[in-house]
Amino acid sequence: MSRDPRYDILFEPVAIGPVTARNRFYQVPHCNGMGHAMPNSVAAMRGMKAEGGWAVVATEECDIHASSDVLPYAEARLWDEGDQQRLALMADRVHEHGALAAIELTHSGHNVSNRYSRLPVLGVSDAGVNSFDPVQACAMTKRDIADVRRWHRQAAIRARDAGFDIVYVYAGHDLTLPMHFISRRHNRRSDEYGGSLENRVRLTRELLEDTKDAVGDRCGIAIRFAVDELLGDAGIASGAEGREVVEMLAEMPDLWDVNVSDWANDSVTARFGEEGAQESYVAFVKQVTSKPVVGVGRFTSADAMVSQVKRGILDMIGAARPSIADPFLPRKIEEGRIEDIRECIGCNICVSGDWTQSPIRCTQNPTMGEEWRRGWHPEIISPRGSSKKVLVVGAGPAGLEAAMSLGQRGYEVALADSGDGGGRAVREATLPGLASYKRVSDYRLAQIARSTHISFYPGSEMDGPSIRDFGADQVLIATGSYWRTDGLGRATFAPVPGIEDHPQCLTPDDIVAGTLPAHGPVLVYDDDHYYLGGVIAQLLADRGLSVTLATPGPEVSCWTQNTMEQHRIEQALLERDVKLVPKHTMARVDANTATLTCNSTGRELQCEAAALVMVTLRAPVNDLYFALAGQQQEHLDDLPFGILRIGDCMAPATIAAAVYDGHRAARELDNLPDPDTVPFKRERALIDGP
């Protein structure tokens, strides 16, 4: 297939100072939970983006000195030559595929606590650090400022020598020292670095000048700047100081990387933000600079990308999350394979890797983070092994991914589902704000429909005899899970007394099936702590019911702190007058009342509950598996076929986990790893001498 000529403009080269990007696709800096601790993993992950056609591939934020120590977060580091050598791995992998490597140099000011280095925290003014650590930052002297400028210059030279083509000055997201100097909220200085906007911009200007002088003959110089903090008069705003900063520095960098702040606004989930939502904030930048501009907007549509360029909004299409969901997005557009793009669903499970200090993952792309340690490639998979015919029972996220991947390996695959396919991804997509989740099933069903190796049988209920009669060499059971009604959860280790007699006790399965409480008041009890409890409470409130959301967690939907949407979920519920009761565990249930116990005091709280919605644990639907394998798997060796349970049927978790498990099972079919060894490579710390 050939490229649609409408998209030719996306493949024009762009000059960035002394270097040239081969097209307009730019993977902007993004964190990944691996950072300096896993340099091989990062290099392989970034190299995959370059192979996939991204013309520029950037690091995450890269600390320039031990006084900017972000522990426990594993970002990039460039403190010394040892760090330089590790970062060179990434630059080399990016260059192998003809892309430019960019590095985002960072000093985080009072955004860190220096837990590892234990150095005093440097800040624009005396201030508390940006955490609950009992630590404060000291106001920087001019000698301190000179030190930071020197460290930044040294880091820029090391970056150049490591092979990077673009070097950043990072002034954005309210996470960096330059932005702290620019900000009226943080900068209370009375010297030439405080007061007027020109003075507050001084450090940023000096860093740009220093970096240009140090490496500008070899590297393009980029600035990343948040033009609007969405704080109104309390912060930088695109219609006021944000625009003035760009005007002051307009021609100094070789490229402007612009966005909004803070990170939760820049990477808003699909539930709370649309594709291209930053346009109204960043559109002015190209009006005041002749330098190329890159911006983001969770762009997945090639038409939207072309529109941004043709209308003069952006010169380069920036992406973090879409490049994670599909590292080969540019190549698929270039090769006329639009239908093969795995579109980002905006769930921010990728972001959770950084917040939980664990390797990055993606709902749509199960190979993300596994490029080095498992050797997985998003577009290449090994040919089939000794088996020929595989039956996959269940077409939810795990079953769809397994069937699709097995078909790509060349197996003859039969996929049977009692419904129409899609499982929980399709069901949850009917809830408020979750429509993009249907992309999980849409992509895989479309790939399966085009495969000559896969036959899909919707509306097919399989049982033990029918599976035995099918004649498959391998059987994968992906029958999913269902939500429990008995209250068993993370905080409750036995069924809740009285709950079985409640006249209106529902679960998320009932809600997505269209069964809503006949009347209220409704108590949504959330011991799951992810998004569903909050989504269901919002849905019921929008239907006019009186709703209370109670949870044993410290706040509603507390795990969504890791996807940067907890504050928005809570705001949406409060705006709908949903009563929130955190830190309370369900103790017992009567006809129209639930008794909750305070986690701190043990005091009881009576809550009216004409209807209950229990969002607690899910039970695996594994009857079919154990009917074949035996309750203790004692029949496994006697079966005429291999059998596995995958996804929620094995261990209910996120949609991302189900997709990953389906993919892993497909990769490992006929090639099972040794159960007594670690099934992936590990990055190990160097053992140094005394």
Token pair recorded at residue 80: 């010394």
Could you tell me the strand order of the sheet in which 579-581 lies? Answer: 505-506, 611-615, 522-526, 547-550, 579-581
| Phi then psi dihedrals of residue 121, to 5 deg | -80, 130
One-letter amino acid of 203: L
Q: Please tell me which residue in 31, 219, 344, 607 is annotated as part of the active site.
A: 31
- CA 4, distance to chain mean position in Å, is 30
Distance, in Å, from the CA atom of 230 to the CA atom of 507, rounded to the nearest integer, reads 37
Q: Please tell me which residue in 30, 36, 107, 173 is annotated as part of the active site.
A: 173
Active-site residue flag, 170: yes
Q: Are 341 and 323 in contact (CB under 8 A)?
A: no
Q: Are 304 and 281 in contact (CB under 8 A)?
A: no
For β-strands 593-598 and 584-589, DSSP reports them as antiparallel
Q: Are 630 and 522 in contact (CB under 8 A)?
A: no
Q: Please tell me which residue in 26, 73, 170, 193 is annotated as part of the active site.
A: 170
Q: Please tell me which residue in 266, 340, 417, 661 is annotated as part of the active site.
A: 266
CA torsion, points 289, 313, 56, 34, in degrees to nearest 10?
A: 110
DSSP per residue, 334-367 = HTT-GGG--------HHHHHHHTTS----SS-TT
CA distances to 339, 368, 565 from 439, rounded to whole Å, are 12, 17, 20
∠ CA(647), CA(450), CA(624), 5° rounding? 30
Per-residue burial over 584-604, b = 16 or more CB atoms within 10 Å of its CB, e = otherwise: bbbbebeeeebbbbeeeeeee
Exposure of 73 in the CB half-sphere (CA atoms within 13 A): 25
| Listed residue (166, 236, 159) closest to 14, CA to CA | 166
Active-site residue flag, 266: yes
One-letter amino acid of 403: A
- For residue 27, count other CB atoms closer than 10 A to its CB: 28
Eight-class DSSP state of 297: S
Eight-class DSSP state of 490: S
Token pair recorded at residue 63: 């600390």
Exposure of 49 in the CB half-sphere (CA atoms within 13 A): 35
If you compute the radius of gyration of the chain from its CA atoms, what whole number of angstroms results? 27
Active-site residue flag, 635: no
* Catalytic residue IDs: 31, 170, 173, 266
